[in-house]
Amino acid sequence: MKPMYLHDVENNPNASGPYAQLIQGMKSSGANISQIMHLFAFKPDATGALSGFTQAVMRGPSPLSPGFRELIAAFTSKLNQCPF
């Protein structure tokens, strides 16, 4: 994956919390890391609301199944040429 435009966010030595731990594990295994994960590790207090919103939209009550919502998100990302 291409490096982020915000190098301080991607290479934050003070990142903490579950996303920072997940990123470290992914780096050590050579896996690609979604850029938004770096943001979640950089400012975990500020991104909690975004995480909650995403979970509510993707997993909350809806006439659409969670799997179908994931499929819509993946298709939209593909159309926007954004890795999902």
**Per-residue confidence band for 1, with pLDDT thresholds at 50, 70 and 90:** low
Q: Please, what sign has the CA dihedral across residues 44, 46, 52, 53?
A: negative
pTM, two decimal places = 0.60
Kindly report, residue by residue over 31-75, the tens digit of the pLDDT.
888 888 888 888 888 888 888 898 999 999 999 999 999 999 999
CA distances from 46 to 25, 52, 60, 69, 73 (A): 23, 11, 22, 25, 23
Kindly report, residue by residue over 11-24, the tens digit of the pLDDT.
777 777 788 888 88
Contact (Cβ atoms closer than 8 angstroms) between residue 35 and residue 60? no
